Homo-oligomer: A and B are copies of this chain.
Amino acid sequence: MTTINASIITIGDELLIGQTIDTNSAFIAQELNKTGIWVHRRVAVGDVYADIRLALDEEGSRSDIIIITGGLGPTADDITKPLLCEYFGGKLVVNEKVLAHVKHLFEKVFRRPGPILERNLKQAEVPDVCTVLHNARGTAPGMLFKKDGKIFISLPGVPHEMKGLMTNEVIPRLQEAFTMPAVVHQTAFTAGQGESQIAELLKDFEPALPPHIKLAYLPNYGMVKLRLTSRGENKEETEKELAPYFDRLQELVKDFLVTNKDETLEQVVGHLLKMKGKTLATAESCTGGYIAHLITSIPGSSAYFNGTVVSYANTIKENVLGVKHDTLETAGAVSEETVLQMAKGALELMNTDYALATSGIMGPDGGTPEKPVGTVWIAAVTKERTETLQLHLRFDRQRNIMLTANAALNFLRRFILANS
């Protein structure tokens, strides 16, 4: 089976200065991978003529498909487009369709007063040797070039514009241009164990996999995503062949398995609540609303999520959630008693079936010998049942917040399942 190789070239000093994190490459790689194209190299270069040119030469010699992002925005140094013109032997011309689109966006969508800026109108200039890819979400069009049997595609670096172009323009064209192998992914999602522990459970499984079936470990804040990928000529057969391996994988990690779909913990909890027709409220101290943010990031979460009280100040714990004053005095804000009263308070205040509460010391300050930074209490409650969990984290503030949020969501998931 022939492999179709791709390279991704990202252009922009901001990536090399480290001021922006390259999320585009990951999305592009995912989309290409899904369709059976293997990204074997990613290169980032600055807004430097010679460096861009070298990257085009090298990646063009190594890959069938070269996706280029960046260097096209209204504030980009005017290097990329002229370079593409020269490289593919064309000249810059105004594309009337793009020009009309740019005018439409500024007049009808952005509703910007005053004349359109020259720098924005210039977005309509494209090399006359390219196929223009319509950018419905922005002013900079995508461009497709062919050279020596290779396909070069240039996309703007603005993530939501690039994404629209990949989905609506790039992928369909590549599927036409190449006969793709069938690529099948199966993902099992574990929580509560580290990468090494999960790997230990799979130490006989992984080496026994056939060479065309790959296992990827994707640790993420206390969770490990296990992704099996298989490639073949035919989708049905490839799926059929992968199935028993995936069953075996799930069996091996069953004690820590959260889901066998490619979904997040907050999606899993959401599905559970929706299925049971139950509602949830949270009372967050140390997670400061991050759990609520995760839950409400899911479209339709209003069907099962009522709300949250972020009780950062003790007065809120007391006056809004009804935590007893002497509990805060004696046991302290970060204690099993307090987090339980927070959860019960949220359950009652927001009149839900379940409530989840967190209280902890995220750092860098606020630790004591008895309660060092990283001490966290979590509580899940219903009218009839309560459960608590203590964590001892040892990372920086950001990471402690993420870890606590995921641990709490997984704790809630188990609590709901145990409760049915």
Contacts and interface: CB of A to CB of B under 8 A. Distances in A.
A22 B26 contact: yes
A173 interface: no
Contact of A22 (B22, B28, B288, B320): B22
Interface string A30-58: 11110000111111111010010000001
A48 B40 contact: yes
Interface in A1-40: 13-23, 25-33, 38-40
A310 B39 CA distance: 42
A72 interface: no
Contact of A28 (B18, B310, B319): B18
A319 B299 CA distance: 24
B19 A22 contact: no
A293 B289 CA distance: 5
Given A119-B200, A288-B293, A18 B14 contact: no
Query: Which of A217, A288, A365 has the largest number of chain B CB atoms within 10 A?
Result: A288
A192 interface: no
A311 B225 CA distance: 32
Contact of A40 (B46, B58, B74, B349): B46
B299 A363 contact: yes
Contacts of A160: 395-396, 399
Interface string A182-207: 00000000000001100110010000
A298 to B, nearest CB: 9
A157 to B, nearest CB: 10
Contacts of A216: 13-14, 17, 19
Given A19-B225, A227-B19, A320-B349, A75 B195 contact: yes
Contact of A195 (B40, B73, B365): B73
A350 B316 CA distance: 6
Interface in A387-420: 394-399, 401
A306 interface: yes
Contacts of A196: 74-75, 117, 119-120
B44 A18 contact: no
Interface of A: 13-23, 25-33, 38-46, 48, 51, 58, 73-75, 109, 117, 119-120, 160, 195-196, 199-200, 203, 214, 216-218, 225, 227, 229, 284, 287-293, 295-297, 299-302, 305-313, 315-316, 319-320, 349-351, 363-365, 394-399, 401
23 contacts: A15-B42, A16-B41, A18-B30, A19-B30, A19-B225, A19-B227, A22-B26, A40-B51, A41-B44, A73-B195, A288-B293, A288-B301, A289-B289, A289-B290, A289-B308, A297-B398, A299-B365, A301-B312, A305-B313, A307-B312, A307-B316, A307-B320, A315-B351
Shortest 5 CB-CB contacts between residues of A and residues of B:
A288-B296, A289-B289, A18-B29, A289-B292, A18-B30
